[in-house]
Structure 1
Amino acid sequence: MDITGIIENIELDLERNGSYDRYPVRFFSMKYAEDTANSIMKLRTDIEKISSCAVEIVDIKDFLPHEDGWVTVDNFRKHIKSLEDNKSYVMVGFSEYTRFLSNAEFITMVIGLLETENSEINYKRRIYIPCFALFSQIQKTVKENHRRMDAYNPFLNDVNVEDLPIIYFINEALDNSGYENEINNSSEWFGMWRNPEIDVEKPIICTSKILLYFYGKACPDNVYNIKKIMTYEELLQYLYGIEGILPSKSSTDEYYRQLLKILKDNPNSTLQSIILKQLNTLKISDDNIYSLWKNTNEFGRWLIQNYILRYEHTQRYLCYMMNSIDNLSAEGFVECAYTAIFNNKDDSLVNERKKVIEGIGKVESIAFSDRMTMYYQKYISDIVKSKTTYDFTQICFEKEAELENCDSEKISCVIEKEVAPILTDVSGFERRLMIWLYRAGLVSKDKIKEIYRGFVDYFEVDDLDMEETVYTDKLIQYFEIYRKSKILREMATAYDNELLQWNEDENTFYSWYTDVNLEYPEVILKKQAFEGNTYVLDGVGGEFLEYIVNALRKRNIDVDYCAYSKSHLPSITSVAKEFYNMKNTWIRDYDKNVVHGQIYYPVICMENSLKTIEKMIDKILIEEGDNSFAITADHGSTVGHKIFKREKKYSFVHADHDGRCYKLSENEHQQSTVDYLSYIDEKNREWLISLNEQSLNNNSKYIVHGGATPEEVVIPVIIAHKSNTQSRTYKVKIVDVKVSGLDKKVIFKINPKPDKVRLQAKDGTDILMKYDTLQKVWYEELERGIEQDIKVTVGSQEFIFRTVPTTKMGDDLFDD
């Protein structure tokens, strides 16, 4: 009720006689607001205008013996009786006072007030008591205990506002982090209506020891229950309405204090917006959560954890992670991202999990902890054993899978159905696991391609627009066999047989090595008039040419030129440096980390090789920016001695590079054999150089180089630049444009591989061509199998060709 309404009721009340004049106390309900103090003052003034006597404000606060004192019910009644007879009063602080009374004290006080009588001096004296709360309790008490309601109704209105601010006591041990709505003593509590700094719309904390004492003394029969906040969780719940915060396992109270301070500093913000602001992000998603997690402290990670649990769907993988994470470290996040799936193998979570893991991979390389490895070992072992009864207990990348006396086909089905879906290509462990499983014949190439495409790109490459020489196709075939022999054990003999085709003896070797069609990289780059930076990838042979080109294309790099070239002999770095006169930068990562960095184990070294090459390419691209650059090598390397093992045959104890070459002294001379050649280099030094898998001394445990096998000698030459799709140049080659009424299909090879190819013809054909992933060609059928011009459009380029009807060919099917 507004002041005007209250005054109208007071005016009507003053006109009454009899018991209304005998008993002065009047209660009315009033809303607490920011301008309560002004409203009380105006109320006093307006009452005085219609009264026959002066009106004063009596504040219960003034009854207190000291600042944090208390007034008993008896003393309260004495103060009421001592009020002057010739004045009316507006009593403030009544609602605040009664909050701390027991129910019995409350009834005694209310009835005592109703029994207060006016003297004969001033029957129109009134004691007005505005009630900001407990109005319904007062009404109930009066109706149950006041027998003269028909003659004297002490209520000026019947509207129960119940708007007194919510108050809480707080455990003295808690730090409320400067919460401003605070009452420190009883004097402030009773005088709250005068204090503009108290926000009555918000909960109030009371730290007065005397109020807490008297409240506790009245328990459990309080007329009004006041909650004592005992924990920081309750502080968040009752002061800010924030419930369900997941505690930290390490520093919960400290984190609560920090959060309370942030909430205080952002009074008009939601918890959701506060957390995002604290993390300096617009959102938290599968893609960026680890980046945020990694770059904040443990408090920030605790905020992220609670953000996900509060604002993400409970069935999401991130929620499942945040509920099960053991600790808030970066390592703990990575481990949980990988292993939480094992406790809830829900297929619907797999894709979300993959996005989270890929997000981690964008921030850092993932190294599996021993516990993560154990999780995978146990999961795979348990699932295989439960489905096949085979005890698949040991996965060791340094050893071959032992699958004797077992149904490998059945195991493969289990692996592809139950294990493959949870694998990614983000961590080294997973990549090695997939290579190990493929090498054991337990997972198909198609399944590997879905997960670890880079591995498949290594041994099954797309057709490249390579500079063609008489050796191009032969080397492509050789390296295809060599790559497969590194992966599949059954290819060992095929590798040895293929190597004999090239290096059966010194004559077969020299027949290709000295051929003018196979040139040194410095010669090729000079012929190409290339003047930019050349990056020499130490030890990266021709086996990786296609892999490097594909890796460049994936990074939106155009390859202008790629070809096989040859290293100088012997295939070692010091010799190459004598001849490389181009502007070059040596990158030794592969030679250091792969060739000489570890004992050769097929699975481990394969994964390490591909990862290292990817990193070297990224390093080059960062360095070069938009500039053109060239990539070559000083020599290649081989694991032929590990693929096709030979017994020890020679004892050139001073041989270099693990027995791959040996520089003879001036007094030494040797004849070539089927295993090595005697080679005199450009500086008249005589060397013995291994032609095959045979070492000149002891067999090595490592990847080696220095010999004359194609994988050691043949190296890549690539010229590339950052791609501009508007200016990308494509080459289109005819595979088949012979047509007839029954066969209307035309086929083309296009390099580099475009996203789409359009085929148009005069017969009305206008269609996008299809890509054959096996043959690496583009094909489509024309409307009619007739002689006509056809147009192939790739990007912004157009190519015109003419079909050849078989009717215009001779018996030999060649165009007459």
Structure 2
Amino acid sequence: MYCNNVEECFRQISTYFNGKSTGYALVFDTENIGVYSEVIQRLEADKSKNCMFVSNSCQKNELPDIDMCISEISKSGDFVLIGSSQALMLKSERDLENHVDLLFEQSISGHALVILNYCRRYIKKFESRDPRISNRVLLVGGGESPIPQIEIINESMNTVENAFVGINGLLAYLERMTESQLKEHRILPVKTRFRKRFFSQAVFQVTEVDGVYESLSKKYSDIAGATEKNYGTEVQWRWLNEKMLYHKSLSSVVKDELGTTSNFEVIIQDIDLQNEPYKSWLFWLAIKAFGTNNPYLNMVISGSKSVEDFEERIYLDLANADVNDPEFEKMYAERKRLLDKIPENLPMLAKYCERVGKYEKNAVYYLTDRSENEQYEFVRYLSIYDYTDDELFRAVKHFSLMLSLYLQPFVFDGVNTKVSEADVGLRDVLTEYFQEYKVQKVTNKIHLDFENKVNNYAKERPYNKLRPRSNIVSQLNKTDSELFFFDALGVEYLAFIKAKCEQYGLVVEISVAHCELPSITEKNKEFIQYFGGNYKKINELDELKHHSQVFDYEKRKEPVHLFRELEIIEEELRRIQSLLVQGCMSKAVIVSDHGASRLAVISGEENDSMLKLDEKGQHSGRCCPVESDPQIASAAFEDGFAVLANYERFKGGRKANVEVHGGATLEEVLVPVIVLSKRPENVEYCFTDPIIILKQKEVATLTLYCNIPMNKPRILVGQRFYDGEFVADQKHAKFIMPELKRSRNYVAELYDGDTSLSVSLEFKVQKSMGQEVDLFA
């Protein structure tokens, strides 16, 4: 009898068990494992029937006694026999067919239901022989499920996990197997004393694991040609073997599981090397088999013995490379990109830092700025070894873009630093001073000649030649602008700020001023009044310098805090850029109250005067309240304070833990006023007067105008470059061209430094009336 579904089937089963015994068993069969498992689960839940599993008739690691099972269900009572077809599928098709025949001939005293699997063709054969059999048969469809494969494993092998123990263990699983289990595991491993030849006639496909790898190699040419047995454990090869059932090649499996058979350096971010063992191994195996376009990853994989050492080699293998190797820079960059894509492994980073120490001063070329460990090691090497300026800038450029931008020179020029005509030389002094200061801050050293400069400036106090901050802020156009009060932002960061603003598409206008003494916040907030008291206060930089729980000079001398300083500035510039782009304001005005000195912290010297602070730690001893001028050569007297202008501190002042202010060194006193705006969509260039009229003994001069401040304006006329000189502001640049003496039309190609702006402007040179006409012009 054919049943359309399981419900109809169980109605027939109930009718059979509730009626008089027919003297014969009721035989159920389905080819669909989902239907089969549902029927078994419902029968097990029916406590009115005695469910007999053939697997229970097995002695230890022996075949089942099916005759005993048939004899048992032939007795009086209600029985269900499960697993006989699976057991006989291990023997042969003939034994299975004879078993079905016996079921139809066997007489019983009570009721018995026999659950079969994959036996429909035998049932049909016997039905054609005796049509009466159809009344004792229940057939349910649902689609034919694949027959699982059996994998025989020698009992002595301990490398295979999750194998069934003995034939009874295998049969017990088959008797209750579900559709999802079959889908997940088509190959069923079983440890047994029987060998494959014992199952030579079995309906199941039976293989033997004396070598899963060997079996794979015979079947798949790309595994044979591109892998070795020691690339995987027995368990890993067995996992791959099961995956290969649905594929025709290793590359097909890799494509299905990983999404690609190339670009492995890109998808490494999708691989959890710690928590996805099989996927990680397949990833490793795929690189072993197919290679990559990434030389560093190829170097790592060539030395890797297993997936277990793979991550370690990604971290450590560069430590074995020669920094003078022509490929080193490429390997360094590729390792850096790889590490950016995988979770940080702190023990591996520590081990790497230890290993590169063998290169002494060249160890800096092996480090990246991607971790605090490496940042610390980098500045530590800069502090313990001597580097020339060229070596330092090369190492910094190699190590960190942010630090490289910080160390770029900032030129104090006629636009950003207004001084009297008599003091124009001060601009070059400041340019040199702050470049030297930054180098010493990074290398954690004070050079003797620089300290002598500081001591001289402590007496000369050249900062007084610059404009006071209030003079600059009071003259700003504040229409639709917002004030950002950036506490402790010194001029040392201007090169970094300027570079970042260019990167973010911001127009930056910088003015350099001096703050009031002492260089402490409460004495330097006068600029707030010019914005009606409305401002955003940015304290993070000042908090880092004074109250850091992480950075402390007494515990760690190296200036690793500098990386966080630059991050704070960059984060704030990003926020400002976002506000400008969103149209929340037209301009952002950044004003600082004071700068700070790292070198005064490194110096650690005490002033030998009689002055002593009463309050422990007040301003780290850089200034001391006094009633009258104490006449200290290295200290200014301002607003009731003696203010040190060298690198000393007054007695009683506690040592600063990161950086210090309150004194009168140039880095403490000089402050920036920065106006930021969004770069206009259309940048326009023109000459203020494109016609040059040459009078006798005069040289050709042009003034270029741009609607945004320019950086390093240059023009190319013919084959000659001319550098521009700013006029009043950075929007006007004057070009002096003594070589242009003929009356004619010219074309100027515009440049920013060495970068072409792809802009061409025409201008004309002509001689004034009354001069001799050039007949050959």
* Higher strand fraction (1 or 2): 2
Q: Which of 672, 676, 693 pairs up with 1:716?
A: 672
Secondary structure of 1:504's match? helix
Match of 2:319 in 1: 342
Q: Which of 623, 631, 636 pairs up with 1:677?
A: 636
Secondary structure of 1:688's match? strand
Instruction: Give the 3 Å change call, closer, same or farther, for CA 258–217 of structure 1 in structure 2.
Output: closer
Q: Which of 535, 542, 546 pairs up with 1:591?
A: 542
Answer yes or no: is the 8 Å Cα contact 2:704–2:734 preserved in 1. Answer: yes
Q: Does 1:693 align with 2:693?
A: no
Answer yes or no: is the 8 Å Cα contact 1:533–1:630 preserved in 2. Answer: yes
Q: How far does residue 318 in structure 1 lie from its aligned partner after superposition? A: 1.2
Instruction: Give the 3 Å change call, closer, same or farther, for CA 781–696 of structure 1 in structure 2.
Output: same
Match of 1:613 in 2: 566
d(CA) in 1 for partners of 2:483, 2:230? 56
Match of 2:354 in 1: 374
d(CA) in 1 for partners of 2:747, 2:211? 80
Matched residue type, 2:594 = H
Q: How far does residue 568 in structure 1 lie from its aligned partner after superposition? A: 3.7
CA deviation map 1:487-511 (0-9, x unaligned): 3599744434544564416xx5684
TM-score, normalised to structure 1, is 0.54
Answer yes or no: is the 8 Å Cα contact 1:535–1:587 preserved in 2. Answer: yes
Q: Which of 308, 333, 349 pairs up with 2:287?
A: 308
Answer yes or no: is the 8 Å Cα contact 1:167–1:226 preserved in 2. Answer: yes
Larger Rg: 1
Q: How far does residue 444 in structure 1 lie from its aligned partner after superposition? A: 2.3
d(CA) in 1 for partners of 2:520, 2:475? 22
Q: Which of 441, 448, 473 pairs up with 2:395?
A: 448
Instruction: Give the 3 Å change call, closer, same or farther, for CA 328–563 of structure 1 in structure 2.
Output: farther
Match of 2:258 in 1: 276
d(CA) in 1 for partners of 2:722, 2:267? 36
d(CA) in 2 for partners of 1:440, 1:235? 60
Match of 1:814 in 2: none
Q: How far does residue 718 in structure 1 lie from its aligned partner after superposition? A: 1.8
- What is the root-mean-square deviation in Å for CA atoms of aligned residues? 6.4
Answer yes or no: is the 8 Å Cα contact 2:231–2:305 preserved in 1. Answer: no
Answer yes or no: is the 8 Å Cα contact 1:631–1:717 preserved in 2. Answer: yes
Q: Which of 660, 665, 678 pairs up with 2:622?
A: 660
Secondary structure of 1:529's match? coil
Answer yes or no: is the 8 Å Cα contact 2:601–2:660 preserved in 1. Answer: no
Unmatched tracts of structure 2, length 5 or more = 1-65, 68-83, 99-146, 165-169, 175-181, 581-586, 725-732, 752-756, 772-777
| 1:521-532 pair list within 5 angstroms | 524=473, 527-529=476-478, 531-532=480-481
Q: How far does residue 621 in structure 1 lie from its aligned partner after superposition? A: 0.5
Answer yes or no: is the 8 Å Cα contact 2:693–2:765 preserved in 1. Answer: yes
d(CA) in 1 for partners of 2:278, 2:417? 61
Aligned length: 578
Matched residue type, 1:714 = L
d(CA) in 2 for partners of 1:295, 1:577? 53
Matched residue type, 2:318 = I
Q: How far does residue 304 in structure 1 lie from its aligned partner after superposition? A: 3.7
d(CA) in 2 for partners of 1:335, 1:780? 61
Q: How far does residue 620 in structure 1 lie from its aligned partner after superposition? A: 3.4
Q: How far does residue 660 in structure 1 lie from its aligned partner after superposition? A: 0.9
| 1:252-271 pair list within 5 angstroms | 270-271=252-253
TM-score, normalised to structure 2, is 0.56
| 1:204-353 pair list within 5 angstroms | 205=187, 213=194, 215-216=196-197, 227-229=207-209, 243=223, 244=227, 270-277=252-259, 284-286=263-265, 289-290=268-269, 301-313=280-292, 316-322=295-301, 336-343=313-320, 345=322, 347-348=326-327, 350-353=329-332
Secondary structure of 1:474's match? helix
Instruction: Give the 3 Å change call, closer, same or farther, for CA 482–654 of structure 1 in structure 2.
Output: farther
Q: How far does residue 372 in structure 1 lie from its aligned partner after superposition? A: 1.9
d(CA) in 2 for partners of 1:693, 1:599? 18
d(CA) in 2 for partners of 1:728, 1:351? 37
CA deviation map 1:356-389 (0-9, x unaligned): 30453588999784322210112x15xxxxxxxx
Q: How far does residue 563 in structure 1 lie from its aligned partner after superposition? A: 1.4
Match of 1:793 in 2: 750
Matched residue type, 1:373 = C
Answer yes or no: is the 8 Å Cα contact 1:499–1:709 preserved in 2. Answer: yes
d(CA) in 2 for partners of 1:738, 1:494? 51
Q: How far does residue 461 in structure 1 lie from its aligned partner after superposition? A: 1.6
Answer yes or no: is the 8 Å Cα contact 2:468–2:513 preserved in 1. Answer: yes
| 1:616-655 pair list within 5 angstroms | 616-622=569-575, 624-625=577-578, 627=580, 628-641=587-600, 646=605, 648-650=607-609, 651-654=611-614
d(CA) in 1 for partners of 2:307, 2:541? 35
Q: How far does residue 697 in structure 1 lie from its aligned partner after superposition? A: 1.8
Instruction: Give the 3 Å change call, closer, same or farther, for CA 69–558 of structure 1 in structure 2.
Output: closer
Answer yes or no: is the 8 Å Cα contact 1:638–1:704 preserved in 2. Answer: yes
Match of 1:571 in 2: 519
Q: How far does residue 317 in structure 1 lie from its aligned partner after superposition? A: 1.7
Answer yes or no: is the 8 Å Cα contact 2:623–2:641 preserved in 1. Answer: yes
Q: How far does residue 231 in structure 1 lie from its aligned partner after superposition? A: 8.1
d(CA) in 2 for partners of 1:175, 1:245? 21
| 1:26-105 pair list within 5 angstroms | 67=85, 68-69=87-88
Secondary structure of 2:316's match? helix
Q: How far does residue 216 in structure 1 lie from its aligned partner after superposition? A: 4.9
Instruction: Give the 3 Å change call, closer, same or farther, for CA 168–298 of structure 1 in structure 2.
Output: closer
Q: How far does residue 557 in structure 1 lie from its aligned partner after superposition? A: 2.9
Q: Which of 429, 436, 461 pairs up with 1:484?
A: 436
Secondary structure of 2:436's match? helix
Q: How far does residue 456 in structure 1 lie from its aligned partner after superposition? A: 4.9
Q: Which of 663, 674, 678 pairs up with 1:707?
A: 663
d(CA) in 1 for partners of 2:345, 2:734? 38
Match of 2:41 in 1: none
Answer yes or no: is the 8 Å Cα contact 2:397–2:404 preserved in 1. Answer: no
Matched residue type, 1:759 = L
Over the matched positions of the two proteins, sequence identity in percent amounts to 16
